């Protein structure tokens, strides 16, 4: 059906984006097989590490005192500091309020204990169904790190798949700390040395293949520092070119590079202590050009890298740019980036992932992002309609399906 006017356009874009079932390509969620690793509920939501960092700007307790508190005490402190003594309009605070509202709780009561009661009546299985429904998400991709003992145990024990939870093989330690982590591979039966000789490289490839067999991941991923450079004289660069790239190609498991994390700028903040630095888009271009049959998913953490990365994606069809990551997951920056990406790349991007660490966060991250993406898309259609171009509802639906899922699945050459 042809869109006749701006009013109809707005309605159609909003309806389609509200109703689309999303594939969320990067989260930190787990199936229930991983027990306590799946985080949910109001105390988890309020103690999200983004909120820990914000709280520690106000309070005068030491970091050690904070970390020694129970989860509930931490949540009480954060609630009092960020929600009661200040107005909670930072994006991470607002997110908590959106979750409470969408779950039907009374946000105006400000009563953390009554919210706790709500979650007590729920089993985790019921809650997973509810969150997927409210968030409008059909599947999410986990972050599965074989170097984490608690996770390994489940993989080597009785992992049972839940088809809503897809897998991604996370390999940061292999790339960022080979000089110590080679010992883990050794312990697990791989004949490796710190020196990357031919046999060691072969054994790293065997390690990757074994975990691909075990997990059936959609992609391999690593979070990488601003100074991530390939090629260079380093174990990381060698492992990328001699192990990741060939295994990725052979197994059709793309390599996802998440570039720009400055680890533990403030170590006392622990999980909340990382920062951002500008990365090297030249490395992305080098890999895409040198390995044209390989596929690369890339997100970068620095705002300053976004334009250059979009231009790189115009040059290489084997590069798929995704998400507004971490410190970029704020309305003003999502809007700016989405506008720029649509202008440079049309619908051939994945505008967002949630990075949810708590199940409940799927609700707010997607509520907030859907709205911004809808605003930008509406503007872009409006601009072309102004030339006399006409748009069918089915064409809007087609574009929305692509950016919220199909682009990802097509890139992987896998079925939804």
Where along the sequence are the contacts to ligand RAT (CB under 6 A)? 28, 143, 223, 326, 355, 357
- Which one, 357 or 402, has the nearer CB to ligand RAT? 357
- Which one, 222 or 281, has the nearer CB to ligand RAT? 222
Q: Is 172 in the site for Zn ion (CB under 5 A)?
A: no
* Binder of residue 236, out of Zn ion, ligand RAT, none (CB less than 5 to 8 A by kind): none
CB 309 within 8 A of CB 321: yes
Calpha distance 95→142 (Å, rounded): 21
Give me the least distance between CB of 26 and ligand RAT, in Å please: 7
CB 220 within 8 A of CB 169: yes
Give me the least distance between CB of 29 and ligand RAT, in Å please: 11
* Binder of residue 23, out of ligand RAT, Zn ion, none (CB less than 5 to 8 A by kind): none
User: Which residues have a Cβ under 8 Å from the Cβ of 113 and sit 6 or more positions away?
Assistant: none
In this chain, which stretch among 31-39, 159-167, 265-273, 353-361 interacts with Zn ion, using CB under 5 A? 353-361
Q: List the one residue from 24, 44, 203, 355 that touches Zn ion (CB under 5 A).
A: 355
In three-state form (DSSP H/G/I as H, E/B as E, the rest C), the secondary structure along 138-199 is EEEECCECCCCHHHHHHHHCCCCCCCCEECCEECHHHHHCHHHHHHHHHHCCCCCCCCCCHH
Give me the least distance between CB of 223 and ligand RAT, in Å please: 4
In three-state form (DSSP H/G/I as H, E/B as E, the rest C), the secondary structure along 215-275 is HCCCCEEEEECCCCCCCCCCHHHHHHHHHHHHHHHHHCCCEEEEECEECCCCHHHHHHCCE
Give me the least distance between CB of 400 and ligand RAT, in Å please: 25
Half-sphere exposure (CA, 13 Å, Cβ side) for 7? 0
Half-sphere exposure (CA, 13 Å, Cβ side) for 337? 29
- Write down the residue that tokens 């682009």 correspond to: 407
Q: Which residues pair with 80 in a beta bridge?
A: none
- Which one, 291 or 326, has the nearer CB to Zn ion? 326
Site residues for Zn ion, window 197-216 (CB under 5 A)? none
* Binder of residue 223, out of ligand RAT, Zn ion, none (CB less than 5 to 8 A by kind): ligand RAT
Give me the least distance between CB of 224 and ligand RAT, in Å please: 10
In this chain, which stretch among 82-90, 100-108, 121-129, 354-362 interacts with Zn ion, using CB under 5 A? 354-362
C-alpha 245: how far from chain center: 22
- Which one, 143 or 305, has the nearer CB to ligand RAT? 143
- Which one, 17 or 215, has the nearer CB to ligand RAT? 215
Give me the least distance between CB of 357 and ligand RAT, in Å please: 5
- Which one, 205 or 357, has the nearer CB to ligand RAT? 357
CA dist list (Å): 130 to 90, 100, 126, 133, 294 = 26, 13, 6, 5, 38
- Rounded to 5°, angle at Cα 277 from 274 and 279: 125
In this chain, which stretch among 7-15, 226-234, 352-360, 386-394 interacts with Zn ion, using CB under 5 A? 352-360
- Which one, 181 or 357, has the nearer CB to ligand RAT? 357
Give me the least distance between CB of 226 and Zn ion, in Å please: 17
Binding stretches for Zn ion (CB under 5 A)? 355
């Amino acid at each position: 059906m042809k869109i006749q006017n701006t009013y109809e356009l707005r309605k159609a874009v909003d309806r389609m984006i509200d109703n689309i079932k999303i594939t969320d390509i990067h989260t930190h969620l787990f199936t229930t097989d991983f027990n306590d690793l799946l985080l949910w509920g109001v105390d988890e939501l309020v103690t999200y590490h983004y909120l820990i960092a914000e709280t520690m700007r106000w309070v005068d307790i030491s970091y050690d005192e904070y970390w020694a508190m129970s989860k509930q005490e931490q949540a009480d402190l954060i609630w009092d500091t960020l929600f009661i003594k200040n107005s909670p309009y930072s994006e991470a605070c607002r997110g908590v309020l959106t979750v409470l509202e969408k779950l039907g709780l009374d946000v105006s009561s400000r009563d953390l204990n009554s919210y706790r009661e709500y979650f007590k009546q729920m089993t985790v299985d019921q809650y997973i169904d509810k969150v997927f429904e409210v968030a409008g998400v059909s599947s999410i991709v986990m972050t599965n790190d074989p170097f984490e003992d608690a996770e390994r145990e489940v993989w080597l024990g009785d992992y049972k798949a839940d088809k809503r939870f897809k897998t991604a093989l996370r390999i940061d330690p292999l790339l960022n700390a080979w000089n110590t982590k080679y010992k883990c591979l050794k312990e697990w039966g791989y004949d490796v040395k710190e020196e990357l000789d031919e046999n060691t490289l072969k054994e790293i490839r065997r390690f990757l293949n074994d975990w691909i067999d075990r997990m059936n991941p959609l992609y391999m991923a690593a979070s990488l520092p601003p100074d991530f450079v390939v090629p260079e004289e380093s174990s990381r660069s060698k492992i990328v070119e001699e192990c990741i790239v060939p295994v990725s190609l052979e197994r059709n498991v793309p390599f996802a590079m998440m570039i720009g994390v400055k680890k533990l700028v403030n170590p006392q903040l622990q999980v909340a202590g990382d920062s951002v630095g500008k990365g090297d888009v030249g490395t992305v271009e080098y890999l895409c050009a040198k390995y044209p049959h390989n596929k690369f998913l890339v997100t970068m953490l620095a705002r300053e890298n976004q334009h250059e990365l979009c231009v790189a994606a115009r040059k290489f069809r084997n590069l798929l740019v995704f998400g507004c990551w971490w410190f970029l997951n704020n309305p003003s920056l999502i809007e700016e980036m989405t506008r720029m990406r649509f202008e440079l790349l049309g619908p051939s991007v994945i505008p967002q992932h949630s990075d949810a660490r708590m199940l409940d966060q799927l609700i707010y991250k997607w509520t907030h992002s859907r709205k911004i993406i809808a605003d930008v898309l509406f503007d872009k259609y409006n601009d072309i309609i102004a030339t006399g171009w006409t748009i069918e509802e089915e064409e809007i639906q087609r574009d929305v399906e692509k950016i919220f899922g199909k682009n990802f699945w097509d890139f992987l050459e896998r079925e939804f």
